[in-house]
Amino acid sequence: MPQVLDVVNVKNEKVGEISLPEDIFGAPVKEHLLHQVVVMQRSRRRRGTASTKGRSEVRGGGRKPWRQKGTGRARAGTIRSPLWRGGGITFGPKPRDYSFSVPKAVRRAALKAALSAKAVAQEIMVLDNLELEKPSTKAFKGILSALGVEGKTLLVLPGRDETVSRSTANLATIKVLPTAGLNVYDLLWSDKVIFTREALASVEKMLYS
């Protein structure tokens, strides 16, 4: 049976109801798919710029430091040996790309699973609309207070809204995403997910296409 949610305005007054599609918000929560997609997302965010120099890349060391025999010291061919201080690094990291992909069907199934988990936990809220006249952190915090929302919150809008983005820029526990950017990692990160009515319709259209 489809879950029915209240649609509220920014003053937390009920203005309607909406049914969540069962095949999107009632899908099986497969934890292995969630894990696979989260690992993929985090891997793509790794910069992979760590770099060290091997013995052939370290400057200097072109001359043999002392003769092979007769000094009483161990044999040495270069001061840039990995055994020496200031020498090259053995098997050190090099710049690399950590990203990998999973099939589109897996990503879609994981997104449905994350949305379903939020629906089961009753951590989804639907706003009739969200419009700010000008960027204002204070005004946005007032809206959150009226809605009774605390903790890590994901706000999903139908598209980019510069006014809302600037209003939330200084709020560490708020993330704002357009529907096209909705993803498993941010859904699982949040304690509450707020959709506008239009954004929810866009998500349904995106997952049905």
Domain that holds residue 13: 3-28+109-208
**What is the percent of the chain with per-residue pLDDT over 90, rounded to a whole number?**
92
* Structural domain contains residue 97: no
Q: Is the dihedral of CA 32, 38, 41, 42 positive or negative?
A: negative
Q: Give the mean pLDDT of 3-14.
A: 91
pTM of the full predicted structure? 0.83
Counted domains in the chain: 2
pLDDT of residue 154: 97
pLDDT digits (tens, 9 = 90+) for 72-85: 999 999 999 999 99
19 and 59, same domain (yes or no): no
Using CA atoms, how far residue 87 sits from 63, 72, 76, 80, 109, in Å, is 14, 22, 12, 4, 50
Residue 62 is predicted with a pLDDT of 87
Position with higher pLDDT, 2 vs 68: 68
- Regarding whether 201 and 113 lie in a shared domain, the answer is yes
pLDDT tens, position by position, 19-64:
999 999 999 999 999 999 999 999 999 999 999 999 999 998 889 9
Specify whether 22 is located in the same domain as 124.
yes
